Amino acid sequence: VTARLTADRDFLSTPIDDRIFGSFVEHLGRCVYTGIYEPGHPQADEQGFRQDVIDLVKELGVTTIRYPGGNFVSGYRWEDGVGRQRPHRLDTAWHSTETNEFGLHEMTHWLEKLGGNELMEAINLGTRSIEDALRLLEYSNVANGTALSEERRKNGAPKPFNIRMWCLGNEMDGPWQLGHKTAYEYARLAAMTAAGMRQIDPDLELVVCGSSSHSMPTFGTWEQTVLKETFEDINFISCHAYYQPEDGDLESFLASGADMDSFIKHVASIIDATAAQLKSEHSVFISFDEWNVWYQGAEPSHSPEGIDNWPIAPHLLEDTYSALDAVVFGDLLITLLKNADRVHAASLAQLVNVIAPIMTEPQGPAWRQTTFFPFALTAQLAKGGTVFEPKQASMQHHTQKYGMVDTVNAVAVQREDGSLAVFAVNRSLHDAANFVIKLPEGNFTEASASTLYEDDIFATNTKEHQNRVALHTNNTIVLENDVVVVELPPTSWSAITIN
């Protein structure tokens, strides 16, 4: 297999928005409780936050945190999570008991400890409405002098939270969603909510729900309807996508990035068509605010059942990721970067324990899943950079789900210091690829590569073997005459730096 990528400084795309490296903390399973928050854990600080988890989240390099859901938010009363009274409530999305011990104030404290990461707050447009959204906004962003801003101050936050980014509901196109709506029902509610929120704080950045997946039966018409009704009052439309192998078809699974790419391109076309129809100059971008590999049908994703069975923080969606999963995951990151002109925010779903790069044991250790590595290295190398317009020529192969796909998928980023970072995935199950990078003008003298590759593509990191899968230095790399050549093993992900 051969593939070539050409990086030319005359063809730089828009700068990468750091928000593309966001993640997601939902009240789901053990993401919050015994994940980021576990009072009494030997590593917990005075506020109950696990310091070992904070350290790993910092190392991962995530930016914006989307919170508090997900499906959870569509039945959530934010008032339950502030002040002294913290009622236990049913969480019907995940058939659990929500203790409300952790809420908005705790989240803002945790974000401060992370280093001031931005909060992306989701509001409940499932069971609730405009008034509740406005109340939450007043509570969060008004300095003082009103009932709700004074209540926030009384609850220990003298300064407003000043939350800029808001999701207007979650996956409202999904029949599983509490308060699921038709496109038009949702579009009108989102439009009215957005307009109301702007009466309080005009410069908010608002995200409307797009489709829960590229394959939703309503995909396309949902976006058309929602964008038509809300266009001038919103800044983002969301995309969500989860991938898993189906019927053992690993070739198609390895090409998941191709589907994500066409999903983004389809949504971008609908945004452009809507702007044209409305004769609007307004810009709307994509917030890819849930993406990951997720084994949805597997045992860890079975919710508890029964009227007498509402556990607190059960083990849910605790997928253990393999090297293969991490390669697909790395490809999804490459795809987000390639579309950085349209995707200005994204959230890896999720952060800790729940389909997560970081796992914890209650009262025990925290460790890195295989997917941790591509995320951390991409964030480290690409933040603040600018993507080169994708110019790639790769051999192709056939997949059952997506037809012909490029075998190698890659993206080049110009870093702030003028050096280059190139991320590449080899989607072939069996064949290594000879990957050639044609460098832009410049005096490049050094090239190195880190590769995620395992002979056993199903190898995982577990509590017992926390470092089984990691990145390895790829010694095949050669830099000569403005060209870098590197061998990409089959089913591998690589990050290449060129100085």
Interface residues with ligand AHR (CB under 6 A) are: 26, 69-71, 170-171, 212, 290, 349-350
H or E element, residue 447 = strand 447-452
Residue 178 or 479: which CB sits closer to ligand AHR? 178
Residue 70 or 314: which CB sits closer to ligand AHR? 70
Closest contact distance (angstroms) between CB of 261 and ligand AHR is: 21
Closest contact distance (angstroms) between CB of 301 and ligand AHR is: 9
Residue 52 or 171: which CB sits closer to ligand AHR? 171
Query: Angle CA(46)–CA(52)–CA(54) in degrees, nearest 5?
Result: 75
Residue 62 or 471: which CB sits closer to ligand AHR? 62
Residue 34 or 71: which CB sits closer to ligand AHR? 71
3-state secondary structure of 147: helix
What count of other Cβ atoms lies within 10 Å of the Cβ of residue 260? 25
The CA–CA distances, whole Å, from 492 to 138, 232, 326, 442 equal: 48, 43, 9, 29
What count of other Cβ atoms lies within 10 Å of the Cβ of residue 327? 28
Closest contact distance (angstroms) between CB of 28 and ligand AHR is: 6
Closest contact distance (angstroms) between CB of 103 and ligand AHR is: 18
Query: Angle CA(449)–CA(352)–CA(107) in degrees, nearest 5?
Result: 120
- Residue 147 CB partners (closer than 8 Å, separation 6+): none
Q: What stretches of 339-472 show up as alpha helix (H) in DSSP?
A: 372-382
Euclidean distance between CA atoms 269 and 224, whole angstroms: 10
> Which residues are identified as catalytic?
171, 290
- Residue 454 CB partners (closer than 8 Å, separation 6+): 323, 469
Which residue's CB comes closest to ligand AHR? 70
Closest contact distance (angstroms) between CB of 329 and ligand AHR is: 14
